[in-house]
Structure 1
Amino acid sequence: MIAPAVAAALAPWAMRQAESLLVPPPDPAAAEPFSHWPAADLLDAVSAAPLASRPYLHRAGLVLELLRRPWLGEAGEVLRRRADALRRRLMGDTVTYVVNRNLNVSNHCVQHCSFCAFRRDPGEPGAYWLELEELQARAAEAVRAGATELCLQGGLNPAARLNGSQLAFAERLLQVLREAAPGVHLHAFSPQELVFFAECDGISLDAVLERLRAAGLGSVPGTAAEVLSERVRRLLCPEKLTARDWVAAVLQIHRHGLPSTSTLMAGHIERSADLAAHLLTLVALQGAARERLLPGFSEFVLLPFVGQAAPAPLRSRVGRDQPDLQAMLRLTAQARLVLREWIPAHQPSWVKLTLAGAAEALRWGCNDLGGTLMEEHITTMAGARGGTAQTPATLAAAAHGVGRPVRQRTTLYALLP
């Protein structure tokens, strides 16, 4: 059921289109015709799927079989080589990265996601809310370090208002960052945050996007997607946008000419069918954007679940504090093969996998190492061991360590000298 405030915020056309684009988890029977195929034949069939997005969605059983196979031993090496070859064909051998600073403004949040170790109530130990002056100082410091991007995200803080308006406060955030870091790309506010602003102010998401774009918003992080399967979302994040709501919000974001990233949080309670639904929904969204010559998704980022400091019920259910690197590498390759030309840029999370793990992911289909970040709180508070900052030199060394050249890029993948 859609919450009334969310329904009022999202455009009716976007909700209708989201219903048609959201791919449900395939029935296991759909994969049975492919279950006895040799690995090479299965990978050939995935690679031969039509490039038009809608016919590809009809091959959901093929994608499900790709995702549910264990891909161990020699089969795993075949999978890796196929993904690596596709990466080379689509993106070349050069590894890219962006010099950016991550600004997690506050961890005050009205929602209670079962995986989140970041959120706090005001006054609770570990709760924080950065002042505008502090954000300006950090932005200016990022410029001095060569940053071309500021990434701005935080909890859904009901007190973050200016003259009673969430949107006015968000506009003010962008303004102070532009003053401190003129010309730096502002990559800010997940679809969940944007809809929250609209809900709180009683206005449409379109109005939010128009005003924030005018205030300097350059692109949108694709977080809050988690897994686009309602079975999973009811357990992980029942208070968040539904999968259909998230798809509708992204349709509107793209319609306003704003690129967004795409993400997948995996390695917890999802099943292969949920992963198939998620990846094929991203394909459908990207196809819809390309049909209208809209920017669509700029990249895909796999976000392995980190459970060390997660709430106890989910941590106990998952039974693992840190990501299973080998499983995440296989999923990295599988995602590369499913997303293909629709989303050519793929990056791992060195915060979650460690830099060594992220470097290994470059051999499994990734072409990018993400950003320097300079600071990070959301995943670190969950117990991630990858650290909170990298330098261009450490990212370059990671790429060189797997025999690849490296270049700095912008947020939207233009190469820099």
Structure 2
Amino acid sequence: MSIGATDRNRAPYSNHPAQSRGRFHPQNDSASRNAFQRDRDRIVHATAFRRLKEKTQVFVAHEGDHYRTRLTHSLEVAQIARTIARVLNVDEDLTEALALAHDLGHPPFGHAGERALAQCMTEFGGFDHNAHTLRVVTKIETRYAEFEGLNLTWETLEGVVKHNGPLVTPEHGEDALPWAIREYPDWQGLELDSFAGVEAQIAALADDIAYNNHDIDDGLRAGLLNLEDLAELPLVGDVLRDCRRRYPQASERLIILEAVRDLIGLMVDDVLKETLSRLDAAAPDSAEAVRRADREMVAFSPSMLDALAGLRRHLFANMYTHYKVNRAMAQAERVVRELFQLFLDDPGLLPTHYRRQAGEKGSEKQARLVCDYIAGMTDRYAVEEHKRLFTVQGYF
């Protein structure tokens, strides 16, 4: 009997480690951990996971010690996701593995770095961070003598690529899939025309909850947002007023912390209420029934979606496009573009491991290798690499 197979009674729509579809490279079971626990542990020990500590989303890593990095964000997502999974009585280990893995494919400098890499790779198949996550866990991570990648279970790989919904739809056929997905030998086996399991859907919503709230916190810390404007927004304003009523003597900093905590709680409660309603209506009797459903099972309510849309508009107008952020992101995009072009023009500048695999100069193979190298960089390493290569005094 597999470890964890009877550790508790799961909901019928949960994925179960004892019923996993297995790994691309068959391996013996562990005596102490079930399949999904091993996936989570492999992700935690991955080099790409450690690098998340100096990869950011809005603020560049050196701008301050208290802004979230992708590592701290991933840990927050995992905490929220486990809470939701526990209430829904589905597999917490798979949920946590997916939450911890969801950002592994992000390049340095957040969305600015992704935009720059996507532009650089236009002629070579493009770049998509979700697709690159699959490439990271199936190819780039080299920690085992028997195979490339982490050899994660089918359920974890499926969740990595499909947590935001089906990738193959009537509007978007297989020919529109990113190359990083199509190069995976068993990409068709991931059933890209269906939804992911409930655990992956939980991880996706937990991601939304975490970044909406930590962007408020980080934006206030940076002085890009102010409480007076936030108080005019639906949901956020109500929470701020309630916190001020309950703690009239509290400092602004404590009010912010209380409000963010309350907002997370309200969003989690909303997801649970809406999800339980959808599960009751659909009555899925298996994990496969969730995948075959005509809509996501894990979701926000329409009223919460309206409130979040207003919040995102406010964050976009006042934070994501603030001139200070725009300046930092413009610099970041330039760093990525210049590094990419330099390595493409002169592959001899690549580290030995990459140079040996580069192939013909200017080829698609070389471009993808350069893309892998840059996507794996932290913010700090990308800045330092740019200085080494573009500043003469860096070597004198």
Interval containing the TM-score (normalised by the shorter chain): under 0.3
TM-score normalised by L of structure 2: 0.26
Greater Rg over alpha carbons, structure: 2
**Structure with the higher helix share, 1 or 2:** 2
- The answer to which structure has the higher strand fraction is 1
- TM normalised by structure 1 equals 0.25
